Amino acid sequence: MARSAKAERERLRETWIKAGKSMTEVAGLMGQHFGVRPRTAWRYAAGWDQWKLVQQYRTANPDARIDESRISRWESWPFGGSRPSLEALAGLALTLGHGCTLADLVDDTDRQHLSAAEKAVITATSAPGSKGMIVSDSRSTTTSPAQEGENEVHRREMLRLLSVVSAAVLLPAGPQSVAAAAPIGEFSRFNTHLWQVYALTPAKADVLPLVRRQLAVLSNGLNRSPGPADRQQLCALAGDLFQLAGEIYFDADAYTDAAHCYHLAAQASREAGAHDQWACALTRHAYLSVYEKKFTDALPVLELAAAVAARGDSELSTRHWVSAVQGEVYAGLSDLNACRHALDHAQEVAGLTSTIHNGGWLRFDGSRLPEERGTCYVTLGRPDLAETALTEALQHATSTRRRNSVLADLAIVGAQRRDLDQVLVHADAALAHAQGSSSAMITRKLLTLRPHLAPLMSDPRARELADRLTALTAA
């Protein structure tokens, strides 16, 4: 009697797993043996039919609305069916687990139907040592009334989730559940993926739906009364996500929401006993005051961050990052000596020899210190010191935001020297970068140039530049 296709798949799956094959290898063998696409191959490797995948997807992604017909359409695409969004693929990867990434779920045929930006990010996340879930490259800065209403709904849902998760973090632990332990490793890997997404996508707000879904997953884990060790790790993961959410809101100029996220991040990290993560949350909270020029408000928060960081891992760069931000505060308070002292302490990060950051809530490696020195010297009104540091920084600025920041500061240096030609060279380059970005941070940085143009306004070129800067606020 002929064996059914399902029975044959299960027999081969058990054989390969017993032979020590990884789930990635099993999926590859399923694809080769049965001639199926990667999304179907991974489902076969998991031993699931479409109904089972739907149930698992709903468990891993509590807010998702999905049925078997949608799974079928995703698996059929691009030969019929319907294209799964990159967020949906990220949900599939989370559901399947076993180290599955978005890059595992698409093949060369799928890539032919993706945009250049999407393919570039997928290529980056599939490089050795890099695993990432990605979202689309949305560059449009216009928003319709309907979209604004939808964004507000998402914002309210995000705030609800923040409240739910923070309550679960702060409530005393109840009796330990006999339910299966939470897959902490999978949660941790997905958090790492989200930070990679945030770093790679120009439109930071696109990452928020993924963060919101992951918060719902962590909330579910915390509400299942985990054991003390798991609860501590879940609190740390929640603090990690709160910081990422704060970064996204900060990039969008939503300072109040960002401050709320950083406050919750500090609470969750403290509950987890994660001192470095806690110190970074405090530092980010202080940075809001730095951006709003409320330097006296930032100083005591940074002093607390430094004290917490001193109790953390001495091999990490946390305390050096705190010092770098303190340098900016002292510059804002017109204290050149204190500023130099803080930046010199931050420079000691070069003496660390192990893995000094995690690429997520802690990313400080000292590479941006020339840029930060330059910004401090601009704030102090010392163009002689600023230009040397900024010129060095421009050579190493790789991201659009960093390059724009340096160019804006160099334009301010030109204004401080009353050199309009220098102002225009750097301002034109910075404006060109701003036109290709939806980041409010880039716009905000460019607008800091406008008041420095006042002494040059007798020249029509300066007035034209001021008008172009003003137009950024109306875009």
- For the ranges 205-214, 286-295, 379-388, the lowest mean pLDDT is seen at 205-214
Q: Is 47 helix (H, G, I), strand (E, B) or coil?
A: coil
C-alpha 77: how far from chain center? 29
pLDDT band, very low/low/confident/very high, at 133 (cuts 50, 70, 90) = very low
Greater model confidence, 103 or 255? 255
Greater model confidence, 216 or 318? 318
Compute the distance between CA of residue 427 and CA of residue 385 in angstroms, rounded to an integer.
Answer: 20
- For the ranges 62-76, 163-177, 409-423, the lowest mean pLDDT is seen at 163-177
Mean pLDDT on 29-43: 93
Greater model confidence, 282 or 151? 282
Mean pLDDT on 51-58: 90
pLDDT of 142 higher than 80:
no
pLDDT of residue 139: 33
Greater model confidence, 98 or 249? 249
Residue 391 sits at φ, ψ, to 5 deg, of -65, -40
How many CB atoms neighbour CB 412 within 10 A? 27
Identify which of 438, 10, 463, 26 has the alpha carbon closest to the alpha carbon of residue 248: 438
pLDDT of residue 156: 75
pLDDT band, very low/low/confident/very high, at 5 (cuts 50, 70, 90) = confident
pLDDT of residue 436: 60
Q: Which residues are CB-neighbours of 260 under 8 A, at least 6 positions away?
A: 159, 162, 246
Note the pLDDT tens digit of each residue in 436-473: 666 677 778 888 888 999 999 999 999 999 998 888 76
pLDDT of 2 higher than 60:
no
pLDDT of residue 30: 94
Greater model confidence, 308 or 123? 308
pLDDT of 171 higher than 80:
no
Identify which of 362, 237, 259, 241 has the alpha carbon closest to the alpha carbon of residue 312: 362
Greater model confidence, 404 or 311? 311
pLDDT of residue 437: 61
With a pLDDT cut of 90, the percent of the chain lying above it is 46
pLDDT band, very low/low/confident/very high, at 291 (cuts 50, 70, 90) = confident
pLDDT of residue 439: 64
With a pLDDT cut of 70, the percent of the chain lying above it is 84
CA angle 102, 103, 106 (to 5 degrees): 95
Compute the distance between CA of residue 56 and CA of residue 48 in angstroms, rounded to an integer.
Answer: 9
Compute the distance between CA of residue 137 and CA of residue 203 in angstroms, rounded to an integer.
Answer: 6
pLDDT of residue 48: 94
Greater model confidence, 331 or 6? 331
Q: Is 107 helix (H, G, I), strand (E, B) or coil?
A: coil
pLDDT of residue 227: 81
Note the pLDDT tens digit of each residue in 178-202: 454 567 887 888 888 888 878 777 6
Mean pLDDT on 205-217: 82
pLDDT of residue 449: 87
pLDDT mean across residues, the chain: 83
pLDDT of 129 higher than 60:
no
pLDDT of residue 3: 65
Helix locations, 201-335, DSSP H: 208-222, 228-251, 255-272, 275-291, 295-309, 318-332
Mean pLDDT on 417-423: 93
Distances (CA, A) of 213 to 26, 32, 102, 193: 28, 33, 16, 13
Mean pLDDT on 57-76: 84
Mean pLDDT on 294-301: 95
The per-residue DSSP string of 440-462 comes to HHHHHHHHTTGGGGGGGTTSHHH
Global confidence as pTM: 0.66
Note the pLDDT tens digit of each residue in 90-114: 778 878 888 787 788 998 898 888 7
Note the pLDDT tens digit of each residue in 345-381: 999 999 998 888 888 999 998 888 999 999 999 999 9
The per-residue DSSP string of 382-400 comes to -HHHHHHHHHHHHHH--SH
Mean pLDDT on 235-253: 92
Identify which of 248, 249, 306, 240 has the alpha carbon closest to the alpha carbon of residue 271: 240
